[in-house]
Chains A and B, each alone.
Chain A
Amino acid sequence: MPEQPSGSAIAIREVSKVFGSGSDAVTALAQVDIDIRANEFFTLLGPSGCGKTTLLRLIAGFDYPTTGEIRLYGDDIAQLPPYRRPINTVFQNYALFPHMTVAQNIGFGLEMLGRPRAEIAARIDEMLRLVRMEELKNRRTSQISGGQQQRVALARALAPQPKVLLLDEPLSALDYKLRKEMQLELKRLQHETGITFIFVTHDQEEALTMSDRIAVMSKGRVLQIGTAHDIYDKPAERFVANFIGETNLLDAEVTGVDAATATVRVKGTTLQAGLPEGFRPTGKATVVIRPEHAELEAGGADRGTLGGLGGVITNVVFFGTDTHYYIALDGGGEFMVRRQNSRGAAGFASGDRVGLRIDPGAARVLRD
């Protein structure tokens, strides 16, 4: 692993977390290395049980790593209790203090830091403005809606101006429309405050739309770190390709490798496929092609012009903006193509024979 680049807000170095001991030991995190840059919107993405929440708890200080270092602007904070870390958390269930008003909740952190009353009062008002909740200042937290509680939780965590804000699936309890709204709101808050956000989610769409960079996690390991584009367009592993977006995975035979691409044969068709960094496949491999990177052509029987990939449509699912076509490939396997619905475009129906034209550069070999 490379040394910590200067400018990292959080540097996680070879962090492991093992719960229990002896034969009951469960490894929640195994040798995790992540650098999170200052002012970045960084997302930990993975299915439940992948270790993302454990990692967040280690950064917050609710738990301590079994081995490894967690550095905040260079200082190892791994063993500090939570109240000694300039890091605040937005909890999944918000964890607002039910016996306090909205204003008292927001002022709690500053009060504990021993700030003067006048400063606290001013900061509470500023925070209420920031999350657009001025009129609910003196309400009890039990008297406001879920979306409003979410905003109070954000304001409470932002009020002490932490160096890093941790967000533990904060949008999962909201309904779809409110969630979309809060996604934009979070981006705005991050932009306006300039605070480093570390966001935990299992929702790949949320991760793709909000994050500057994403770390995809599975079974206590970080599989890939990159921008939304990197993760989506250049997944390095089968798990990443499967977890992010919809995916076609095809068995392939590697026939040649050069600097950045491999020549592969997929069901008799030869394709150029991109390679993950530093990966030199030989023999059998898995190739990923995103559903929007293939085009349907009528009359797939004419193999010569279409390069050979083809099959019969088994299912057509309409999604409003686009339509998904499920194709049983000649020679076995299924392939899904997503086509945007534009007026006048020729439609295809179940039972039609089609050929597939793969966009150049769309195929990528995966590390298994």
Chain B
Amino acid sequence: MAERGPLDLKTQPGFGKVALLCLFLLYAPILILMIFSVNSGSIITHWEGVSLHWYGAALADGDFHSAARNTMVIAVSATVIATLTATLAAIGMTRVKPWRGLGAAFMVINLPLMVPEIVTAIATLSFFALVAGKLGLNFGIGNLIIAHTVFCIPFAYMPIRARLEDMDLTLEQAAADLYAPPWQTFRRVTLPLMMPGVFSGMALAFIVSFDDFTITQLVAGPGQTTLPLYIWNQTRRPMTPEINAISTILLLISIVVVTASALIARRRKA
């Protein structure tokens, strides 16, 4: 009798076909988007030939430039602040004596992931309206940076915390055993070993901020158009493949960020 191991899905009949179908459904729309971004014609669904015309058009577009600038300012600021905050939170919650309410604190930090984004968006909007109305304060693009920082924190927090929890605690004990006071233990052992988690957290935060639409749409004031908002506005006019080109650029930036963070994480681990 043949040896029967645990269920191996790969040996089930039709596995290959189902897998191919899933991959097709996942990537076909994106592939079509990318293909039509190099369409030379001006109708989004009608193929006329290969050309980089629409990339040129997008890159020459002043509105695109300002949207890209806004997006980068917001995403980079929010990523840096959110990652710093999340790192401190993760250290504070994994390198302390367990205290009552630790579980609750963990929930509170992660709960924003469960809240429907539109609810967060409305809440943020009313918050800033209140601040502006009662205190007369408006931070301009700072409003968007604050809003993005807030929803980026749980995304940055998760990989950092996971990394800290996976870390062998005896490494920190070994450092203390070898005469390293707490700060040196952190600087020489904990921090270098948690960096892959920090990079993953940064990448996640950046991507989440970079393509956020719902919250940005409600909070953004005049002149604070970001790339997702810009694309959205484009779709309300007769659509040209310029929109495909811009979307493809966005996609490539995301891929570069994620790949870079994965590579850094892997190099650190080795």
Cβ-based interface call for B175 (8 A): yes
Do residues A83 and B176 form an inter-chain contact, with CB atoms below 8 A?
yes
Cβ-based interface call for A177 (8 A): no
Cβ-based interface call for B181 (8 A): yes
Do residues B171 and A97 form an inter-chain contact, with CB atoms below 8 A?
yes
Do residues A83 and B193 form an inter-chain contact, with CB atoms below 8 A?
no
Cβ-based interface call for A88 (8 A): yes
Cβ-based interface call for B139 (8 A): no
Do residues B178 and A108 form an inter-chain contact, with CB atoms below 8 A?
yes
Do residues A109 and B270 form an inter-chain contact, with CB atoms below 8 A?
no
Cβ-based interface call for A355 (8 A): no
| Distance of A99 Cα from B190 Cα, bound (Å) | 10
Contacts of A142 in B (CB 8 A): 270
Contacts of A99 in B (CB 8 A): 192-193, 268
Q: Kindly provide the distance from the CB of B103 to the nearest chain A CB, expressed in whole angstroms.
A: 18
Q: Kindly provide the distance from the CB of A20 to the nearest chain B CB, expressed in whole angstroms.
A: 12
Given the interface pairs A98-B193, A112-B184, A142-B270, the reply to whether A93 lies near B175 with Cβ below 8 Å is no
| Distance of A140 Cα from B270 Cα, bound (Å) | 9
Cβ-based interface call for A73 (8 A): no
Do residues B270 and A95 form an inter-chain contact, with CB atoms below 8 A?
no
Contacts of A160 in B (CB 8 A): 178-179
Do residues B189 and A97 form an inter-chain contact, with CB atoms below 8 A?
yes
Given the interface pairs A112-B184, A142-B270, the reply to whether A81 lies near B176 with Cβ below 8 Å is yes
Contact indicator per residue, chain B 186-206, by CB within 8 Å of chain A (1) or not (0): 001100110000000000000
Do residues A109 and B179 form an inter-chain contact, with CB atoms below 8 A?
yes
Partner of A82, one of B168, B177, B192, B193: B177
Do residues A83 and B177 form an inter-chain contact, with CB atoms below 8 A?
yes
Contacts of A96 in B (CB 8 A): 174
Size of interface on B: residues with Cβ below 8 Å to A: 19
Q: Kindly provide the distance from the CB of B190 to the nearest chain A CB, expressed in whole angstroms.
A: 11
Chain A CB within 10 A, most for which of B171, B178, B179, B268? B178
| Distance of A160 Cα from B173 Cα, bound (Å) | 16
Cβ-based interface call for B170 (8 A): yes
Partner of B173, one of A82, A140, A157: A82
Partner of B178, one of A62, A112, A140: A112
Size of interface on A: residues with Cβ below 8 Å to B: 25
Q: Kindly provide the distance from the CB of B76 to the nearest chain A CB, expressed in whole angstroms.
A: 27
Cβ-based interface call for A286 (8 A): no
Partner of A91, one of B170, B188, B193: B170
Do residues B170 and A93 form an inter-chain contact, with CB atoms below 8 A?
yes
Contacts of A88 in B (CB 8 A): 177-178
Do residues B179 and A113 form an inter-chain contact, with CB atoms below 8 A?
yes
Q: Kindly provide the distance from the CB of A21 to the nearest chain B CB, expressed in whole angstroms.
A: 14
| Distance of A99 Cα from B181 Cα, bound (Å) | 19
| Distance of A112 Cα from B180 Cα, bound (Å) | 6
Chain A CB within 10 A, most for which of B171, B176, B270? B176
Do residues B180 and A95 form an inter-chain contact, with CB atoms below 8 A?
no
Q: Kindly provide the distance from the CB of A60 to the nearest chain B CB, expressed in whole angstroms.
A: 6
Q: Kindly provide the distance from the CB of A77 to the nearest chain B CB, expressed in whole angstroms.
A: 13
Do residues B270 and A82 form an inter-chain contact, with CB atoms below 8 A?
no
Contacts of B171 in A (CB 8 A): 95, 97-98
Q: Kindly provide the distance from the CB of A93 to the nearest chain B CB, expressed in whole angstroms.
A: 6
Contacts of B170 in A (CB 8 A): 91, 93, 95
Contacts of B175 in A (CB 8 A): 97, 108, 112
| Distance of A316 Cα from B178 Cα, bound (Å) | 52
Contacts of B180 in A (CB 8 A): 83, 108, 112
| Distance of A157 Cα from B170 Cα, bound (Å) | 14
Do residues B173 and A109 form an inter-chain contact, with CB atoms below 8 A?
no
Do residues B177 and A89 form an inter-chain contact, with CB atoms below 8 A?
yes
| Distance of A88 Cα from B168 Cα, bound (Å) | 18
Query: Within residues 84 to 111 of chain B, which ones have a CB less than 8 A from any CB in chain A?
Result: none
| Distance of A62 Cα from B175 Cα, bound (Å) | 11
Cβ-based interface call for A151 (8 A): no
Contacts of A60 in B (CB 8 A): 173, 177
Do residues B168 and A95 form an inter-chain contact, with CB atoms below 8 A?
yes
Contact indicator per residue, chain B 162-175, by CB within 8 Å of chain A (1) or not (0): 00000010110111
| Distance of A60 Cα from B181 Cα, bound (Å) | 14
Query: Within residues 57 to 72 of chain B, which ones have a CB less than 8 A from any CB in chain A?
Result: none
Do residues A112 and B174 form an inter-chain contact, with CB atoms below 8 A?
no
Do residues A97 and B174 form an inter-chain contact, with CB atoms below 8 A?
yes
Chain A CB within 10 A, most for which of B171, B176, B179? B179
A residues with a Cβ closer than 8 A to B are 60-62, 81-83, 87-89, 91, 93, 95-99, 108-109, 112-113, 140, 142, 156-157, 160
Instruction: Sample 8 A-B pairs with CB under 8 A, ordered by A number.
Output: A61-B176, A91-B170, A91-B174, A95-B174, A99-B192, A108-B188, A157-B177, A157-B178
- Knowing that A82-B177, A83-B181, A108-B178 touch, tell me 17 more A-B residue pairs with CB under 8 angstroms: A60-B177, A61-B176, A62-B176, A89-B173, A89-B174, A89-B177, A93-B168, A93-B170, A96-B174, A97-B189, A98-B193, A108-B175, A109-B179, A112-B179, A140-B270, A156-B178, A157-B178
